Amino acid sequence: MEGQWTGQGDSSITITKKDNKYSIEIKKAGKTEKFEGVAQDDTILMKRNDKAEIIKAATPDETGLKWSGGEKNCIVITKGSEAYCRK
């Protein structure tokens, strides 16, 4: 799941692995937030705004969003509202 992924509008997520942890940078609405994540099975767990969230691989249908425009390589944090895809 490493690399940069594009979301709706001008949003994006960049995931970089550092040892056993992940650096996660989410850009949305002109704002950049940084988080730390840890691998668990085939997902990445992170804490955002005091809430535990999971980043996982998904098909465009599993994202719950219609904008993916034929991309087949996606990740989802919140089905229906926050997902990112790439070629």
Task: Write out pLDDT tens, residues 20-40.
Answer: 899 999 999 889 999 999 999
**Tally of structural domains, the chain:** 1
Helix/strand/coil (H, E, C) string of the chain? Answer: CCEEEECCCCCEEEEEEECCEEEEEEEECCEEEEEEEEEECCEEEEEECCEEEEEEEECHHHHCCCCCCCCCEEEEEECCCEEEEEC
Identify the domain containing residue 57 by its residue range.
3-86
List the CATH number of the domain containing 24.
2.40.128
> What pTM was computed for the model?
0.90
Per-residue confidence (pLDDT) for residue 9, from 0 to 100:
86
